[in-house]
Structure 1
Amino acid sequence: MKKILLMSLFVLMMTVVAACSSDKEDDKASSGTEQKTITFGVTPWTSTVPPTKIASLILQDMGYEVKETAADAGSVYMGLSRGDLDVFMDAWVPMHQTYLDKFEGKIESTAVSYPEADTGWTVPTYMEDVNSLEDLKGREGEFDNEFYGIEAGAGATIESDEIIEAYEFDFKQVSSSEGGMLAQAQRLMEQEKPVVFYGWRPHTMFNKFDLKVLTNEKGFFETSSVEVITNSELKDNAPEAYEFLSNWNISLDEVEEMIVKIEEGQEPEEVAQEWIDNNQDKVNEMIGK
């Protein structure tokens, strides 16, 4: 009877050890070192779409599953910091520097897409006597005291509020989606009325309309570097994906050309694949071939 009891205890102990060993293996597999799903944060800006689609297709060719999560800029950075998102392809620095500082250690700038993107308060060129922010002072009534911006929470929206405060402008910022902002601006431009709104390149607005970005003497909206941001765990969890993203680069003109094609009716994936097919040497460099 003792022998049977001892044998039973031995079998039970071996079962527990085996279970613990299996649990450790499962923990290792789930620790992120073999991560095979890459999740992109996608803001509602046309400039975000082409680089996201290109990177997505390349990562799929590399064997990864890809997901996209639509959100405003603030939510994208929060998701990156929590590890819910892995990549954001359209960070504007220094405009988004507040997010990089806030989540320092949890997110990182991994690559520069293109180093010089113009951005800022924008007017149509028929407003010949308005060339700087300073030129707007005292003339807010001509614009019905409204500045048109993008969605609340975006870095541009925050900085535009800072401009209104710094210059003591009698402007109210009207926040909307990119499409809503441009629809309102277009309506006024078609009548050649005064209008001031947030503009940036790459964007088809500069192809469709004669526009100029206003200068300023206070250092607002410096020329931006557009960068790829990843959560800090991606380097260890998906090293091949991280290596590809760290080698990422694309020109502003190429992104703008793709935005035009998408707005003219081509599917974003089709446009992205066309770029990949025409730039295979660059793709091979980015993935380390």
Structure 2
Amino acid sequence: MFRLTKSLAVLSAAAMLSAAPAAVLAQEEPGAGTTINMAQATWDTGWFHAEIYKQLFEELGYDVQGPTTLDNPPFYQAVAQGDVDLWVNGWFPLHNTYQSTFEGQAEIIGAVAEGGALEGYLVDKASVEEFDIQSLEDFKRPEVKEAFDRDGDGRADLVACPPGWGCEINIEHHLDAYELRDHVNPIKASYSASMADAVAAYEAGEPIFFYTWTPNWTVNELVPGEDVMWIEVPEVNLPEDMADLADAAVLEGVEGCVADPCKLGFPANDIVPVANSAFLEDNPAAAKLLEVTSIPLQAIFAQNAEMNAGAGSSEDIQNQASTWIEENRDMVDGWLEEARAAAQS
């Protein structure tokens, strides 16, 4: 009897020891066995922080598929339907126009960067001074249109946004609101290629007129206040679903603007994750990570500059993200611990 009891005790202790590593693993990797279908935006300036989030999910044990590159409309439809779980490339209020697509099925959670995403129109500084360009209204003047008309159609060429981007909606609204259709030609080809062409034109001493946002490599390559200037809109006029945000489209202290405060014509945006609500409910660790993680704008600026200088391959972006994580390991570990704790509660 004693031998049997002793044998049972030994077996019980062995079972406890073998179970202990599994329990520890479950605490360290609460996402083990779960797949995240992740998306990312078509603009490459958002891929760095998408990769950071991907690697952090993987540290929690999740198997991350993608990110799959999607335009705004298909992403918001897919996340509402649960065909993808999330992305970290939401721009709000710019993407307010898509809210009716995902409301009740997906939601904004946390913030990659709050209030740091500016948008607006820029002109090379030499042309601002030569033609006294202050706002979009100046592009109705014949001498200005002629200077910026590169294709000979009688209109000033503007590097705008490709179809499907949220900024395309605002730019199209501005062209109508300010009666610019006969004066401005929006170029909607690949943004990166169009901007590379604009940079080459600037370096050749030619006038350039373009839309951009921050964070973006463009403001590293063409520095506001030195190379280019933010110009204003005649008055703030926003699409209907953003009309109540007019005050947020006039900002103080915008470096390199022709005026202060500066009527940029676009509200300052938050860059945010958007995730399927059912996914968040089923994955408290992932939800908490999205809630607490944020990426400093300067880190995004720096990576965008590296990318523009040639380090923009998938491998480069993976390495840039992993380097940033290791350089900020104490902060990152704090986010991961909060996520692990959420899974245990």
The TM-score normalised by the length of structure 1 is: 0.82
Quick one: which amino acid aligns to residue 123 of structure 1?
V
Partner of 1:5: none
1:245 is aligned to 2:290:
yes
Q: State how far apart, in whole Å, the 1-side matches of 2:209 and 2:37 are.
A: 36
Partner of 1:8: none
Following superposition, the deviation at residue 190 of structure 1 comes to 2.3
Contact 1:244 1:288 in 2 (8 A): no
Greater relative contact order (CA < 8 Å, ≥ 6 in sequence): 1
From 298, 312, 332, the counterpart of 1:283: 332
Contact 2:122 2:228 in 1 (8 A): yes
Following superposition, the deviation at residue 35 of structure 1 comes to 7.2
Partner of 2:52: 54
Following superposition, the deviation at residue 54 of structure 1 comes to 0.5
Following superposition, the deviation at residue 100 of structure 1 comes to 2.1
Following superposition, the deviation at residue 106 of structure 1 comes to 1.9
Quick one: which amino acid aligns to residue 271 of structure 1?
Q
Q: State how far apart, in whole Å, the 1-side matches of 2:337 and 2:100 are.
A: 31
Structure 2: tracts of 5 or more residues without a match = 1-30, 150-154, 237-245, 247-264, 339-345
Q: How many residues align?
A: 257
Q: State how far apart, in whole Å, the 2-side matches of 1:60 and 1:34 are.
A: 9
Partner of 1:173: 186
Quote the sequence identity (%): 26
Contact 2:80 2:276 in 1 (8 A): yes
From 206, 213, 231, the counterpart of 2:276: 231
Following superposition, the deviation at residue 141 of structure 1 comes to 4.0
Runs ≥4 residues deviating over 6 A:
none
Q: State how far apart, in whole Å, the 2-side matches of 1:264 and 1:191 are.
A: 19
* 1:60-106 Cα shifts (integer Å, max 9, x gaps): 11111112111212222222122111122122111111112432112
Q: State how far apart, in whole Å, the 1-side matches of 2:277 and 2:32 are.
A: 15
Quick one: which amino acid aligns to residue 125 of structure 2?
T
Partner of 2:78: 79
Q: State how far apart, in whole Å, the 1-side matches of 2:33 and 2:97 are.
A: 29
Quick one: which amino acid aligns to residue 126 of structure 1?
A
1:147 is aligned to 2:158:
yes
Q: State how far apart, in whole Å, the 1-side matches of 2:42 and 2:64 are.
A: 18
Structure 1 residue matching 2:112: 3-state secondary structure: strand
Contact 1:87 1:228 in 2 (8 A): yes
1:199 is aligned to 2:244:
no
Partner of 2:109: 110
Quick one: which amino acid aligns to residue 194 of structure 2?
M
1:274 is aligned to 2:323:
yes
* 1:196-241 Cα shifts (integer Å, max 9, x gaps): 2221111111111223332222143112111111122221122211
Q: State how far apart, in whole Å, the 2-side matches of 1:197 and 1:35 are.
A: 46
Partner of 2:16: none
Contact 1:72 1:151 in 2 (8 A): no
Bigger mean CA deviation after superposition, 218-227 or 238-247: 218-227
